[in-house]
Structure formats: structure tokens, C-alpha cells
Chains A and B, each alone.
Chain A
Amino acid sequence: MHMTDLLQIQNIRKTFPGVVALDDVSLSIAPGEIHTLLGENGAGKSTLMNVLTGLYRPDRGELLFDGSPVHFSSPRDSLNIGIGMVHQHFMLVPAHTVFENILLALDGVANFFSRRKYKVKIQQVLDQFELDLDLDTPVWKLSIGAQQWIELIKLLVRDCRLLILDEPTAVLTPQESARLFQVLTRLRDQGKSVLFISHKMREVMEISDRVTVLKKGCSLVTLPRGEYDENRLASLMIGEDQIPMWIKPACKYEELALEIKNLSVRNDRGLADLDKFSMKLYRGQILGVAGVAGNGQKALAEVLTGLKEASSGRILAKGKDITNSTAKSSYIAGIAHIPEDRKSIGIAPDMTVDDNLIMKNFNSRAFRRWIFQDRAAIRKNATAKIDQFAIKAGPDGNPIRYLSGGNIQKVIIARELSEKPSVLVALYPTRGLDIGSAEYVHKVVIDGANQGMSTILISEDLDELLKLSDEIVVMFRGRLVGCVNPQTTTREEIGLLMSGEVQR
């Protein structure tokens, strides 16, 4: 068995200043298998990927490819032996054409190359997988789903033998995901190996030949298909046998909390991010917003929280017009925001947890004495919040960027909910979080609903939307294309709406 492994990872360790990212990881990948890597955030999955693709150099341990040791000093080395990766943040140049993006990934292209020859060659690969992409289109004009295909094509034109995919379905509709899985299965049958990373249990169960669980920088166990089920994997990952399930109350649809009428928002390129969007949100309602990322969800969240101006239409909070008020006065109207990019928008990374917790109301009398900060009060507030939200904040005065993604999200939630908002706008609140942290976010949303807070939950995880929402609306190209009842709808129905093929 060991002799035939394509890649053997032996006792890899990688540390960063003050952090052990990988402690001791060993696993092997056989030719022609789909191997899934599971683990909580901070378990070391991304670090391991970056070691395999030559971006990071491990402190210790060995990589054997085809039975012989390999050392990567740059991504070029790892590409040359046939390891390629689709990164979660795409490695594409939006301003360049599809052709230019793929060409750079090709090996052995002469400096003065024939455009026609390589266009034919790339087109052949596209045809082989029945992909419809125009090579001369600049990448920024394409949907996120199409961009992901380009990333995959970049690896296929190079004939990579091991394909690493980091949460590839996060940006796809269920139909697109199914298509991706078809392609991956076909690649496996051709003898290629796939290392697959995902948080979505359904997909892990569907596609994996083997699953390896990572925990706290160590490889815990590798299980072949048939020896695991969802519960077993979840308990291995978070070390608990029971994942708590939260019961949510049904919304009564009595009191209107927020109403959006024909709202349109234009982006920097002058195109409509939101196009005559209308919806109603009731007190205590959890309104799910489904859609492929990039179809106006971000604009919706930003316009509701005052970060963007509407070009036309109105937003009414409890009957009061709050259209185009500034971030502060929207906040007074009672809208809290969990932003998409928690590290760059949600927090000030180099400031302490204490300071990040009072950012929304630093000017309140509770935290100042005349014009000076009241450090004692700020500290007291932080201790209370850290306690209440079970934040692992590290030592006092710790810059918040040292915290894990889940704990940063808890700080943001603690801050946003501290003023008892009437409306919460949550943009992908569990993206990249492990099961435990995601469950915590769900609990907060449901607790809030119990106390009358309304939530607009924008998410790409259909399971999450189906579990929490009272109602799910679907967005496509800035428009509302459908509104479904989570009790009676199907994943397929939502998927069709997300792809813009039908309207309801």
C-alpha cells in the first residue's frame, strides 16, 4: 500500500512566531482517490495546503511524492512535480482575460508564443469538460462560479496529478456543485488524486473515498468510506458527542420591523448591484437570503447599514425613512451588522479585544470621563462580554488579530448585539467557521429572535438557511427572483432560483 501512494505526508510541523500552526501531521494520498480533509478552523488545514503547494516551508517533517522525498522552495517546484491547488481566494487577475490567466499557468510556453496555438490547446481542455467559457473575456466580467472553473482549468492544462481544492463549493449553486463533483469523479477515474477541503458534511459524505480529520495541528485519524458517518466525523472534529440543536420559535408576522421598497444601488462601474429590490421584515423574523455570492447580497447589507448610498428606493424602519442616513444614525435606528470580511471590515486587527468591543459606542458616557477614556470601565465591559460570549481572548491587551476566526466573530457579535438592536444584518456569518462556532452564531440569532430581534441572514450554506429561516428569498443579479417557505421547498428549487433560470 505504502509503495503505491502518490503523496505521503510525514510528521509535518510548521510554526509561526508564537503559534504552532501544524504540530504533527501525517497522511497519505493514493493515486485515483478523493481524499477529504476535515477540521475546525485553526486546525491547520490551510497551513497544510500551503506547505503542499510550496508557499510555506515546514520546520520539520517530510513529503514523499511517488515514493521519493521532495522539497519545495517555491510554488513552482510543487507545480512542476504535479501538485496544483484551487485556492479559496482565487489566484486570478480580474483585469486580464481568461486566456491570459490560463496561459500564465501553462508550463513550457516559449517567451514569444503563438496565441492561436495555445488558444486551440486550451479550448480542447474546455471542450473535454464541456465548459462554455469565452477565452477573450476579462475575468472580472465572469460569475464567481465561472472563475472557479478557470482555476481548475489552470491545473488541468498543466496535467497536475494531485488537485487540491479548498472549500470549492462555497461559491457555487447546488447544481454547479453537482457539476463540479461530476468532473472531480471523472478526474479520479482517470487516475488523478483530489485533496478536498469542505465544511459541508453532505458533500464530504457524497464524494470522499477517504476522510482525514485534523485537530489542533495534528492528524487525528484517516477513515475509509463506510467507516464514518456525519455524527462520527463531527464528534471527532470538535470532540463532543452531541451537537446541540436549537429550536426556533415560529415568527408571528405581526409587527413590521423593516421594509425595503424598490431599492437600487449602483456600483463603482455604474452597474446595478441592487435592482428595484423590495422585501418586508417582521419583528422576530429570521429572513434567509440565498444566492450565489456576488449577486447583490453585499450591496444589500451595506445599504441597510449605511455603508453605501441607495440610488433610488426607500428603506423604512418601523415606518421611519432611514434611506441614506449615515452608519451612525442607522445604528441609532437599531440595525446591527456582521460584515462579510470579518478581518478587514469587522475589526481593527492591531487593536486589543477591549477596544474592539467598544468601537460602536466608544463615545458613550459609560466609557469616558470628560474627554478621556475610562480604561477601567472599558476593561470591565470586556471581561463581562468575554465571559458572556465564551470568547477565548488570550492575555489582556492581546491584539485581536491573534484570535481564531470563530473568536473574532464572537467579538463582533458581542459588540453588535450589545445595544440590543432591533434588526441584525448578518452577511455570511458562519463562513469559514467550524461547527462549534457556527452553532454558537445560530444560537445567538435564535435567542435574538426569541427576544424580538429580526435578522436578515445572508448565507451561501443552504442547510443553515433551511434550518434557521422563517422565509427564504433568493437573489440573482441584484433582483429578488423568488421567495420560498423553508418547510416546503427543496434544495433543487432554491438552486434553480439561484441560477436565475426560473423566477417565482
Chain B
Amino acid sequence: MFEILLDATVRAGTPILFATLGAIINERAGIINLGIEGLMLIGALAGFAATQASGSLLLGVLAAFVAAMLAGSIHGFITVQLRGNQIVSGLALTMFGIGITALFGRSMVGLTIAGFERVAIPGLSKLPVIGKPFFNQDLLIYFSFLLVVVISLFFYRPRWGLALRTVGENPAAADTCGVPVILARFMAVTIGSGIVGIGGAYLSLATTPMWIENMTAGRGWIAVALVIFASWSSYRALAGAYLFGGITAMQLRFQAMGTTVSVHILQMMPYFFTILVLVISTIRLQKGASQQPENLGQPYDREDRK
């Protein structure tokens, strides 16, 4: 019973995990990206369409990454190069994503593909309790584990990671050290967006191998909130994503058990918790526990006269 619940937790948490990781990369470079929901949808549709056409799941994931990256580069260009308003541009990106996927997804409705299948890792999957939920999963889930570690190492080990964090904290300092601020920010936005796209593709290639209009159902917004909950750390993003995965799994379980509580109330739970998490994290932020990049949301203009 617990094993099944944990398994469902990981599967429900993974798309949110990818999206949160992508958003963290954006925000570490100082750019707020509210286009996550739209980027996930674009990733979901591109992934599904590519797999449907080619029969290859790998190509699907790749297509999701590239499509979301291209869409994210619009946000990058507007906010980094043109120094536009990050909130407005991000919201527009989400609406763009919802609209364009509804339009091009129409012909995909009702088609099916063979989605990701479980691959048991020999040895590890035999572990009691955590064996099956964590090590008898599909390849994308293993990839997400890897990504959590790689992103954390990237932030703290190589010089590029240091440059990326400095660009988000104090772009002028990075600039005077010779870091190409504009390029670094743009790269962070596009690559981060691509990873968000993989989160979307997980929905259409693994969770339910089909295309449904607006299938992300607000998961992108949960990811935006989780970035703050995770204080911009990839490990805490993992914990946060699984917390939400757990709530989703639990409410599905309750529905299956046929409780008398209204389905609508149960379905509301993840979103209700998002609000709760935001309140708690904001209070923590105000108490000074912040890891928030200092220049988050601020455009950088070298010739700005201060």
C-alpha cells in the first residue's frame, strides 16, 4: 500500500520536478519566468507529436526540449536583450503556449503512442519499500534524478556556475569581472526553458501517453511557487516536487476508495497546498532565510546612469 502510494508520488512529482529545475536555472541568472505553464504545454505537444511521427521516444524528448527552448528564447530576448518587463513577458508566454498548443494539438487529439515503460534497475529495485518506487521506473525519472545532482554541481563547481550565480546576484559585478552578462542570462533562460519542456513531455509521453488540451492543468504554476519553497536549490526542489506528487497521489487514492468528500475538494488539494507553501516560504523569506538572487527580476543595462 505504502509502496504503491510512493510510486504514484514519484510519477506525479516528476513533471513538476523538471519544471521547477528549469525555473531555478532561470531565476538563478536573475530572470523571473512566469511562462513555465506555457513552456510545459509546448513541450508536451512537441514531444507527443515527434514521438507520434517518428515512433521514437528519445526524439520526442529532444523535440520537447528544443521546442520549449525556442519558445523560451522569446522570453530571453525580450527580458535580457531588450530589458523588457519579466512579469508581463512571462505571462504572455504562458498564454501563447496555451493558445498555440490548443491550435496545433487539435489534430493530435485521440491519437495514441507507446509511452515510456518501466525499466527495473538490477539490485536497487529489490530494496525494501523504496526499491520499487524509485528504481523500477521509466528512463525519464532516472534522468530527473541525474539532473538534480548535475544542476547542483553545476551551480557550485565549475566557473560557469559561479558566473551564472553572480549574474543573478549582481550583474554589474559579473560584468566588471569580464563575464558576458547578456549571453549568460540568455543561455540560462533558454536552457532552463528547455528543461521545463521535458517536464511537459513527461505528461504526454509517460503519465498518459496522449495529447489532451491544456493537460498541464496548472502544474507550471505550482513549479513557479516551488522555486521559492526550494530556496533556489535543486535538492529541495526534489523534496518539494514529491511533496506535491504525494498530495496528488493521495487525493487520487481517496477518490478511488470512494470517500464521501467531494471530488472537487480533493482535486483542489495540490493548489490549496501551493498557496500554503507560498505563505510559509514568504514568511521565511522575510525572516532573512533567503537564498533569493539579489537581482532577481532586475534588467541589466550597462550604460544605465545610477
Contact among A55, A93, A343 for B169, CB-based, below 8 A: A93
Give B302 Cβ to nearest chain A Cβ, in Å. 6
The answer to whether the Cβ of B178 comes within 8 Å of any Cβ in the partner chain is: yes
Q: How far is the CB of A280 from chain B (nearest CB, A)?
A: 33
Please state if A110 and B159 are interface contacts (CB–CB under 8 Å): yes
Chain A 86-111 interface residues, beta-carbon cutoff 8 Å to B: 87, 89-96, 100-101, 103-105, 107, 109-111
| Cβ–Cβ < 8 Å partners of A109 in chain B | 159
For residue A93, which residues in chain B have a CB less than 8 angstroms away from its CB?
165-166, 169-170, 173, 294
Closest Cβ–Cβ distance, residue A72 to chain B (whole Å): 11
CA distance A75 to B172 in the complex (A): 10
Cα A93 to Cα B295 with chains together (Å): 10
Once the chains are docked, how many angstroms separate the CA of A87 from the CA of B176? 10
The 0/1 profile, CB within 8 Å of A marked 1, for residues 266-306 of chain B is 00000000000000000000111001001000000011011
Assuming the A-B contacts A55-B302, A93-B166, A95-B169, are A76 and B180 also in contact, with contact meaning beta carbons closer than 8 angstroms in the complex? yes
Minimal Cβ-Cβ distance residue in B for A115 = B157
Please report the C-alpha to C-alpha distance between residue A89 and residue B176 in the assembled complex, in whole angstroms: 12
Contact B163 A104 (CB under 8 A): yes
- Give me 20 A-to-B residue pairs in the complex whose CB atoms sit less than 8 angstroms apart, sorted by A's number: A56-B303, A74-B178, A74-B302, A75-B178, A76-B178, A76-B179, A79-B177, A89-B306, A91-B172, A93-B169, A94-B294, A96-B166, A100-B166, A104-B166, A104-B173, A104-B179, A105-B178, A107-B178, A154-B177, A268-B286
Does chain A have a CB within 8 A of B174? Answer: yes
Q: How far is the CA of A89 from the CA of B306 in the complex (A)?
A: 11
List, in ascending order, chain A residues with CB within 8 A of B123's CB. none
Q: How far is the CA of A320 from the CA of B175 in the complex (A)?
A: 52
> Told that A92-B173, A105-B177, A112-B157 touch, could you supply 10 new A-B pairs with CB distance under 8 A?
A55-B175, A75-B176, A91-B170, A96-B165, A104-B163, A104-B173, A112-B158, A113-B158, A113-B159, A270-B287
Q: Across the two chains, which residue of chain A brings its CB closest to B170?
A: A93
Shortest Cβ gap from A271 to chain B (Å) = 10
Is the C-beta of A16 less than 8 angstroms from some C-beta in chain B? yes
- Is A53 an interface residue when CB atoms closer than 8 A count as contact? yes
- When each residue 53-82 of chain A gets 1 if its CB lies under 8 Å from chain B and 0 otherwise, what string results? 101100000000000000000111001100
Indicate if B119 sits at the interface (CB-CB under 8 A).
no
Other-chain residue from A55, A79, A270 in contact with B288 (beta carbon distance below 8 A): A270
A168 CB, min distance to chain B CBs, angstroms: 15
Residues of B within 8 A of A457 (CB): none
Given A111-B158, A111-B159, A112-B157, does the pair A104, B174 have CB atoms closer than 8 Å? Answer: yes
B169 touching A104, Cβ below 8 Å: no
A91, A112, A343, most chain B CB atoms within 10 A: A91
Answer yes or no: B162 CB below 8 A from chain A CBs.
Answer: yes
Give the distance in Å from the alpha carbon of A292 to the alpha carbon of B173 in the complex.
23
Say yes or no: is A269 at the interface (Cβ < 8 Å to chain B).
yes
Closest chain-A Cβ to B160's Cβ sits at a distance in Å of 6
In the bound complex, residues from chain A placing their C-beta under 8 Å from that of B286 are 268
Given contacts A16-B305, A55-B175, A96-B165, contact A104 B159 (CB under 8 A): yes
Chain B residues with CB below 8 A from A53, complex form: 176
Number of interface residues of B (CB under 8 A): 28
> What residue in chain B is nearest A19 (Cβ atoms)?
B305
Contacts of A94 in B (CB 8 A): 169, 294
Closest 3 interchain pairs by CB? A76-B178, A91-B173, A93-B169
CA distance A154 to B169 in the complex (A): 18
> Does A85 sit within 8 A of B, measured CB to CB?
yes
* Residues of chain B within 8 A of A92, CB atoms compared: 170, 173
**Contacting B294 at CB < 8 Å: which of A16, A95, A269?**
A95
- Residue from A91, A93, A94, A343 whose CB has the most chain B CB atoms within 10 Å: A93
Determine which of A16, A74, A89, A107 lies in contact with B175 in the assembled complex, contact meaning CB atoms within 8 Å: A74
Q: Which residues of chain B are within 8 angstroms of A101 by Cβ–Cβ distance?
A: 173
Contact between B294 and A104, CB atoms less than 8 A apart? no
**Complex interface: chain A residues within 8 A of B158 (CB):** 111-113
**How many residues of chain A have a CB within 8 Å of chain B?**
35
Nearest-neighbour CB distance to chain A for B7, whole angstroms, equals 37
Q: Which residues of A contact B291 (CB under 8 A)?
A: 95
Q: Which residues of B contact A95 (CB under 8 A)?
A: 169, 291, 294
* Cα of A16 to Cα of B303 in the assembled complex, Å: 9
- Distance (Å) between the CB of A332 and the closest chain B CB? 30
By a CB distance below 8 angstroms, the chain B residues around A113 are 158-159
B159 contacts which chain A residues (CB < 8 A)? 103-104, 109-113
Question: Contacts A16-B305, A55-B175, A105-B177 hold; do A96 and B169 have CB atoms under 8 A apart?
Answer: yes
User: Which residues of B, 110-164, contact A by the 8 Å Cβ criterion?
Assistant: 157-160, 162-163
Asked if residues B178 and A80 are in contact (CB atoms below 8 Å), the reply is yes
When distances are taken between beta carbons in the complex, the residues of chain A under 8 Å from B176 are 53, 55, 75, 79, 85, 87, 91
A55 contacts which chain B residues (CB < 8 A)?
Answer: 175-176, 302-303
CB-based contact B160/A111 at 8 Å = yes
Q: How far is the CA of A190 from the CA of B267 in the complex (A)?
A: 72
Closest to A79 in B: B178
Chain A residues with CB under 8 A of B160: 111
- Chain A residue nearest to B163 (CB atoms) is A104
- How near does chain A come to B222, taking the closest CB pair, in angstroms? 26
Chain A, 108-139, CB within 8 A of any chain B CB: 109-113
Instruction: State the CA gap A56–B287 with chains docked (Å).
Output: 39
List of A residues within 8 angstroms of B179 by Cβ: 76, 104
Which of B180, B286, B302, B306 gathers most chain A CB within 10 Å?
Answer: B302
Q: How distant is the Cα of A265 from the Cα of B303 in the complex, in angstroms?
A: 38
Residues of chain B within 8 A (CB-CB) of A90 are 173
In the assembled complex, the Cα of A74 lies from the Cα of B179 at a distance in Å of: 10
A343 to B169, CA, bound (A): 22
> CB-nearest residue of chain B relative to A99?
B162
Q: Mark B171-202, 1 if CB is under 8 A from A, else 0.
A: 01111111110000000000000000000000
Q: Give Cα distance in the complex from A109 to B163, angstroms.
A: 12
Contacts of B180 in A (CB 8 A): 74, 76
Inside 8 A of A74's CB, which chain B residues have their CB? Answer: 175, 178, 180, 302
Taken together as a complex, chains A and B put the C-alpha atoms of A112 and B157 apart, in Å, by: 7
CA distance A85 to B172 in the complex (A): 13
For B287, the chain A residues whose CB sits under 8 A away are 270
Interface-central residue, B170, B180, B291, by most chain A CB under 10 Å: B170
Q: Specify the chain A residue showing the minimal Cβ separation from B168.
A: A93
Q: How far is the CB of B128 from chain A (nearest CB, A)?
A: 38
Q: Which residues of B contact A154 (CB under 8 A)?
A: 177
CA distance A104 to B169 in the complex (A): 13
A132-164 vs B, CB cutoff 8 Å, 1 = contact: the mask equals: 000000000000000000000010000000000
CA distance A74 to B182 in the complex (A): 11
Please pick, from A56, A79, A85, A103, the residue contacting B162 in the complex, using a CB distance under 8 A: A103
The residue in chain B whose Cβ has the minimal distance to the Cβ of A110 is B159
Q: How far is the CA of A100 from the CA of B174 in the complex (A)?
A: 11
Nearest chain-A residue to B292 (Cβ)? A95
